[in-house]
Amino acid sequence: MRSKLQVDYAAGNNLLARRSMECLLRCRAARRLLGKWARGQPVVHLQTSVSSAVFSTCGVIVKLYANNPSGRAQQAGEARALDAMQGAPGFAQRLAAFSRRGVSFVILEHVGLDGFEMCKAGLVGNSAWLRAAFDVCQALAAMHERGWQHTDVKPDNMAFDLHRWRLIDLGLSRPLAAQHPCVCGTVPYVLPELALADAAGCRSAARAGRGRENDRFALALSLVQMAERTVICGSARGRSRRISVNALLRLRTKPVHHIAQEHVVVLHALVDIVLHALDTTRAELHWDADLMRCWYTDELADGDLVRDFAQLHALPFGRDGSDVLWGHLLTILSYRERP
């Protein structure tokens, strides 16, 4: 079985990936299961971190968790999140899972091209952007209703499977506080983690480092990026890059051709809110070179945001069903969490 498996290291000569794959192939159950799913096709290495390695083959994703504190913690957290979201529409489903000699393996369905790849391929047009806004919002609503927060919403964690967009990679997901129930699908919809952040003390959390991410604010930024057909990511040297305020200003003022004109006003309002937060708080949006996660510092002016969204909700919408879709889009943008 071992000789029949071909491994393609997409990231180049990655020593950690090779060691992870060797560990995978030493496990008889892993070889049997991987051979079953591979069906003679190559096993492609996708990414490797300190805690896990990810491979793909013939319609499935194979995720291996390292036998160290970081790997065990990520595996335990992701297992709980996958249990909670099993069977829920809008998520990549777990097909199998097992552990051998302290190393855990998870087999997930391979959804398709993620938003990062679709942006690079120029496949994010009007219909794809609107579909992503609707599908991911619905998936987040289901996740929040089940008491979980994704915390890592970004274009490359939103994958398209020819029918709908789905959220993938629940490795950084965490449970919401049980004492803060949420009701999704209504405007305004205040996330329960807002109250949790207030209780923990926003200012002290901001001084301590990264604030708690808000799923919907991260999705809003992802939609801005996809609408602009630009994905901002870390450099090859690993340095983080800032989101350019000038780029947002250009998006606000330049003609938008790849989005239906009746929706341009909503896109512009979305960008205005991001710019307003930057201008009001002097906060800076960053993208981590490894995780490409958004975080921000300083405190947001909630009263101004509520007033902005009251104006945004009053915008006219079409009668062809787009009002429902944009209602969901406004829902995900109707509040953001302070750090």
pLDDT surpasses 70 at 167: yes
Mean local confidence (pLDDT), 188-197: 32
pLDDT surpasses 50 at 106: yes
* Res. 247 pLDDT band, cuts 50 70 90: low
pLDDT given for residue 143 in this prediction: 83
pLDDT surpasses 50 at 300: no
Give CA–CA dist 114/198, Å, rounded: 34
pLDDT given for residue 112 in this prediction: 79
pLDDT given for residue 77 in this prediction: 86
pLDDT surpasses 60 at 285: no
pLDDT given for residue 251 in this prediction: 57
pLDDT surpasses 60 at 81: yes
* Res. 264 pLDDT band, cuts 50 70 90: low
The class level of CATH for 2-109 reads alpha beta
pLDDT given for residue 127 in this prediction: 62
Cβ proximity of 62 and 55 under 8 Å: yes
Environment class of residue 289 by beta-carbon count within 10 Å: exposed (0-12), middle (13-18) or buried (19+)? middle
Buried-exposed string 238-267: b where 16+ CB fall within 10 A, e elsewhere = eeeeebeeeebeebbeeebeeeeeebeebb
Contacting residues for 24 by C-beta, under 8 A, at least 6 apart: 30, 31, 34, 55, 62, 64, 105
Of the two residues 211 and 78, the one the predictor is more confident about is 78
Closest CA to 78 of 170, 213, 215, 150: 170
Give CA–CA dist 26/103, Å, rounded: 11
Asked if domains 2-109 and 113-333 share a fold, the reply is no
Give CA–CA dist 5/70, Å, rounded: 28
* Res. 15 pLDDT band, cuts 50 70 90: low
Q: Where are the domains of the chain?
A: 2-109, 113-333
pLDDT surpasses 80 at 190: no
Cβ proximity of 225 and 119 under 8 Å: yes
Fold adopted by 113-333 = Transferase(Phosphotransferase); domain 1 (1.10.510)
Percent of the chain with pLDDT over 90: 0
| Residue-averaged pLDDT of the chain | 59
User: Phi and psi (nearest 5°) for 175?
Assistant: -75, 145
pLDDT surpasses 80 at 249: no
pLDDT given for residue 67 in this prediction: 74
Dihedral class, residue 267 (left if φ above 0, else alpha if ψ from -120 to 50, else beta): alpha
Of the two residues 87 and 34, the one the predictor is more confident about is 87
DSSP bridge partners of 61: 56, 108
pLDDT given for residue 137 in this prediction: 73
Of the two residues 246 and 338, the one the predictor is more confident about is 246
Cβ proximity of 163 and 195 under 8 Å: no
pLDDT surpasses 50 at 232: no
Report pTM. 0.58
Closest CA to 150 of 211, 85, 71, 97: 85
* Res. 104 pLDDT band, cuts 50 70 90: confident
pLDDT given for residue 41 in this prediction: 73
Give CA–CA dist 46/230, Å, rounded: 22
Mean local confidence (pLDDT), 128-155: 76
DSSP codes of every residue in 180-217? S----SSSS---HHHHHHHHH-HHHHHHHSPPPP-HHH
pLDDT given for residue 108 in this prediction: 87
pLDDT given for residue 7 in this prediction: 55
pLDDT surpasses 60 at 25: yes
Give CA–CA dist 144/138, Å, rounded: 10
pLDDT given for residue 200 in this prediction: 37
Give CA–CA dist 218/293, Å, rounded: 8
pLDDT given for residue 298 in this prediction: 31
Of the two residues 92 and 257, the one the predictor is more confident about is 92
* Total residues belonging to the chain: 339
Of the two residues 14 and 92, the one the predictor is more confident about is 92
pLDDT given for residue 217 in this prediction: 59
